[in-house]
């Protein structure tokens, strides 16, 4: 466990150089979950993530010789930006190795912060190995994203702030886990200053490496995930023992649950949160009974989600909730029927977004055409009422958008 003395020293190092992010009560998420929900907004941190904290504490500990030679880090983006930001301010040359598939916005932001970016390896572990090669060949200092006491101490200041920002102790906290630096640091703070608070970690189901270590399992399969910030195949050597010592349980959430959490934070709290930052909410909503009536803190660890990914998440959420649908309607290929379709839509309170004629389906009579209508609706019941209305008017109508697309 990281000692309170080390955590306090890290807090002094960060003073005035990173944000003391807000801790807010969420009425809407409390209503949804049945718990009393507080959000620690690390998505509002400098560079958009908690990673800026640990990066600064680590860089501040370098000797003059180490700083002059420069540093290298491996990261999917948030640690990269934290290291690049503070290295630029401190005049330290920084090289960042990023795995393939890192969102373009994170690569671009890192380069704009003055770091040299190298894209290498399909996974974080492969990117880390490439970074360690540069340590050997160029004499750079490796800045781990999680497996160093300075890193864990810097991240642990999040916990110190949370404890100070609530009037009464929290019953539980939910913290995202990649390599485990954030949870190890935050858990160290809570165990020493708020020992009755239950501590929970959260991972995505493609990379549950810390859960595997915690429960002696082997479920880490890898793959693509919305939560790329916690896509780590191997738990930290230093973080894992601290997490085993301090943590009550580790939840694992799937991609749909993460998407729904990102969507809920955007719609209900007007907060832009990346997949990794939203897993705590995903776990809370999947375990309502366990947290009912309790004071729960969620660490929204970052907000650096690619705009195109966010757009897709929002759109998929609309389809999933039935607030947007595609209806395929077979109509006689004659004048007047398109006008009738639009009138039925209008009379039933649906807003047409796009219309496509499909004349080349060979299973139709040559005298029929199929019209695909992209329509905004209220919910799935509204979609079904529209379908029933068209069938009642003598049209063949079905929904072709997948509910769980």
Q: What angle do CA 215, 220, 222 make, to 5 degrees?
A: 160
Range of weakest confidence among 57-66, 254-263, 312-321: 312-321
Tokens of 17: 């150089």
Range of weakest confidence among 240-244, 259-263, 344-348, 367-371: 367-371
- Confidence at residue 356, expressed as pLDDT on a 0 to 100 scale: 84
- Confidence at residue 363, expressed as pLDDT on a 0 to 100 scale: 52
Residue 234's pLDDT band (cuts 50, 70, 90): confident
Give me the mean pLDDT over the 89-109 stretch. 87
Give me the mean pLDDT over the 391-404 stretch. 78
- Confidence at residue 366, expressed as pLDDT on a 0 to 100 scale: 56
User: Residue 206: what are its φ and ψ, rounded to 5°?
Assistant: -80, -30
Give me the mean pLDDT over the 154-182 stretch. 97
- Confidence at residue 405, expressed as pLDDT on a 0 to 100 scale: 38
User: How many whole angstroms separate alpha carbon 223 and alpha carbon 122?
Assistant: 10
Kindly tell me if the per-residue pLDDT of 304 is higher than 60: yes
pLDDT, mean over the chain: 91
Residue 361's pLDDT band (cuts 50, 70, 90): low
* pLDDT tens profile 129-139: 999 999 999 99
Range of weakest confidence among 59-68, 151-160, 211-220, 310-319: 310-319
Q: Is 75 in a helix, a strand, or coil?
A: coil
Domains in the chain and their CATH numbers? 4-50+153-316 (3.40.50.1100), 53-142 (3.40.50.1100), 321-399 (3.30.70.260)
Q: Does 11 or 402 have the greater pLDDT score?
A: 11
Percent with pLDDT over 90 in the chain: 70
Residue 404's pLDDT band (cuts 50, 70, 90): very low
Kindly tell me if the per-residue pLDDT of 357 is higher than 50: yes
Tokens of 40: 């620690």
- Confidence at residue 365, expressed as pLDDT on a 0 to 100 scale: 58
Q: Is 147 in a helix, a strand, or coil?
A: coil
Q: Is 328 in a helix, a strand, or coil?
A: strand
- How far apart, in Å, are the Cα atoms of 255 and each of 61, 159, 203, 207, 279? 38, 27, 11, 11, 10
Kindly tell me if the per-residue pLDDT of 170 is higher than 70: yes
Kindly tell me if the per-residue pLDDT of 152 is higher than 50: yes
Q: Does 273 or 224 have the greater pLDDT score?
A: 273
* pLDDT tens profile 56-98: 999 999 999 999 999 999 987 889 999 999 999 999 999 999 9
- What is the DSSP pairing of strand 351-358 with strand 396-399? unpaired
* pLDDT tens profile 325-335: 899 998 887 88
- Burial call 186-208: b when 16+ CB within 10 Å, e when fewer: bbbbbbbbbeebbbbbbbbbbbb
User: How many whole angstroms separate alpha carbon 222 and alpha carbon 122?
Assistant: 10
- Confidence at residue 185, expressed as pLDDT on a 0 to 100 scale: 98
How deeply is 145 buried, as exposed, middle or buried, from its count of CB atoms within 10 A (0-12, 13-18, 19+)?
buried
Q: What is the pTM of this model?
A: 0.85
Kindly tell me if the per-residue pLDDT of 359 is higher than 90: no
Sign of CA dihedral 29, 32, 37, 39: negative
Kindly tell me if the per-residue pLDDT of 367 is higher than 70: no
Kindly tell me if the per-residue pLDDT of 32 is higher than 50: yes
- Confidence at residue 68, expressed as pLDDT on a 0 to 100 scale: 95
- Confidence at residue 337, expressed as pLDDT on a 0 to 100 scale: 83
Kindly tell me if the per-residue pLDDT of 403 is higher than 50: no
- Confidence at residue 401, expressed as pLDDT on a 0 to 100 scale: 62
* pLDDT tens profile 181-203: 999 999 999 999 999 999 999 99
Residue 282's pLDDT band (cuts 50, 70, 90): very high
- Is the distance from CB of 262 to CB of 275 less than 8 angstroms? yes
- Burial call 152-179: b when 16+ CB within 10 Å, e when fewer: bbbbbbbbbbbbeeeeeebbbbbbbbbb
- Confidence at residue 250, expressed as pLDDT on a 0 to 100 scale: 97
């Amino acid at each position: 466990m990281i000692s309170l003395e080390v955590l306090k020293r890290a807090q002094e190092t960060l003073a005035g150089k990173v944000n003391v992010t807000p801790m807010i009560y969420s009425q809407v998420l409390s209503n949804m979950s049945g718990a009393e929900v507080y959000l620690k907004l690390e998505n509002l941190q400098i560079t958009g993530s908690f990673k800026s904290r640990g990066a600064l504490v680590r860089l501040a500990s370098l000797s003059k010789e180490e700083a002059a030679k420069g540093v290298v880090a491996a990261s999917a983006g948030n640690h990269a930006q934290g290291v690049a930001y503070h290295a630029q301010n401190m005049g330290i040359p920084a090289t960042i190795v990023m795995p393939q598939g890192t969102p373009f916005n994170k690569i671009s932001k890192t380069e704009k912060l003055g770091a040299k970016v190298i894209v290498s390896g399909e996974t974080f572990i492969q990117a880390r190995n490439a970074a360690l090669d540069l340590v050997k060949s160029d004499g750079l200092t490796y800045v781990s994203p999680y497996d160093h006491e300075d890193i864990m101490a810097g991240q642990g200041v999040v916990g110190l702030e949370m404890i100070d920002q609530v009037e009464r102790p929290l019953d539980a906290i939910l913290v995202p886990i990649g390599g485990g630096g954030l949870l190890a640091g935050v858990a160290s703070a809570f165990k020493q200053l708020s020992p009755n608070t239950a501590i929970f970690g959260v991972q995505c189901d493609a990379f549950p490496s810390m859960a595997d270590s915690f429960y002696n399992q082997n479920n880490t399969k890898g793959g693509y995930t919305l939560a790329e910030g916690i896509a780590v195949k191997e738990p930290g050597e230093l973080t894992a023992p601290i997490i085993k010592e301090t943590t009550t349980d580790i939840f694992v959430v799937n991609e749909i649950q993460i998407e729904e959490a990102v969507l809920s934070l955007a719609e209900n709290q007007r907060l832009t949160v990346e997949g990794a930052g939203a897993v705590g909410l995903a776990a809370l909503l999947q375990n309502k009974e366990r947290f009912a009536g309790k004071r729960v803190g969620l660490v929204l660890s970052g907000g650096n989600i690619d705009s195109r990914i966010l757009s897709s998440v929002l759109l998929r959420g609309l389809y999933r909730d039935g607030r947007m649908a595609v209806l395929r309607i077979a109509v006689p290929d004659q004048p007047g029927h398109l006008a009738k379709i639009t009138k039925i839509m209008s009379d039933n309170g649906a807003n047409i977004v796009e219309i496509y004629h499909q004349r080349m389906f060979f299973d139709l009579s040559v005298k029929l055409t199929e019209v695909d209508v992209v329509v905004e609706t209220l919910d799935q019941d509204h979609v079904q009422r529209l379908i029933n209305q068209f069938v009642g008017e003598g049209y063949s109508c079905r929904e072709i958008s997948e509910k769980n697309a």
